A = this chain, B = another copy of it.
Amino acid sequence: MISKNKIKTIRQLEMKKFRRREGCFVAEGPKVVGDLIRYGFRPCQIFSTTQEWADAQLVTEDELRKLSFLQHPQQVLAVFPLPVHDDVVPTPSSLCLALDGIQDPGNLGTIIRLADWFGIDTIYCSEDTADAWSPKVVQATMGSIARVKVVYTNLVAMLRSTTLPVYGTLLDGTDIYHEELSEDGIIVMGNEGNGISQEVRELVTRRLLIPSFRQGDTAESLNVAIATAITCSEFRRRQTM
């Protein structure tokens, strides 16, 4: 039996305010919960409809539905402590991402997932970027949030202090396919509607452009997760040459 009060406390973790206050976040389903545990996250609470999860409180399908943020709850739901990162700064010789005001949880989740694929260990987010620990983002990462470090920070201050090259895709940039790309650096991606903010743009040292291949009129922009993927792919491809 789960008390109404416990259900309420967990469901409130949908909101950033409550996640910050309680210092924890929710993950669901065998893949995401399993990946988090495998990578060293230790659940403070875990609920499951099956016996296979250590220390899990056994719940009915109906109880899980009441706890879950998913349309189709998946066997297990766990509450984890929010990871605490000490003041992290980009390490020399690493490639990382910096997100400047990404708003859509789906985009953020997709970017975390593709960063994982391309072996990018850290994503720096401006304070106004969507929260990576919302249930929507956590699920959209498909478990990659267990492996990629997401750090909220003052991007402007971080970019000012780094000695790494700072890349950004901008309309006046040079063709990414033909530009020299370093093995390390910070790739900045901007907000869905407005792109990279003025303040951050001034700190971009290497301006790139993903060229369009349509003659004449064209799509005016690429979705930010798509642009991130193409950029990361091109950086990593060069390292295999």
Contact = CB atoms under 8 A, between A and B. Distances in A.
A230 B233 CA distance: 7
A169 interface: no
A219 interface: yes
A116 B230 contact: no
Interface of A: 38, 106, 110, 113-114, 116-119, 142-144, 147, 175, 177-178, 210-215, 217-223, 225-226, 229-230, 233-234, 236-237, 239-240
A233 B236 contact: no
A214 B116 contact: yes
Work out how many copies of this chain go into the complex.
2
10 contacts: A38-B217, A113-B223, A114-B226, A117-B222, A143-B220, A144-B219, A147-B217, A229-B229, A230-B233, A233-B233
Given A106-B106, A225-B226, A226-B110, A117 B213 contact: yes
A178 B119 CA distance: 19
A234 B240 CA distance: 14
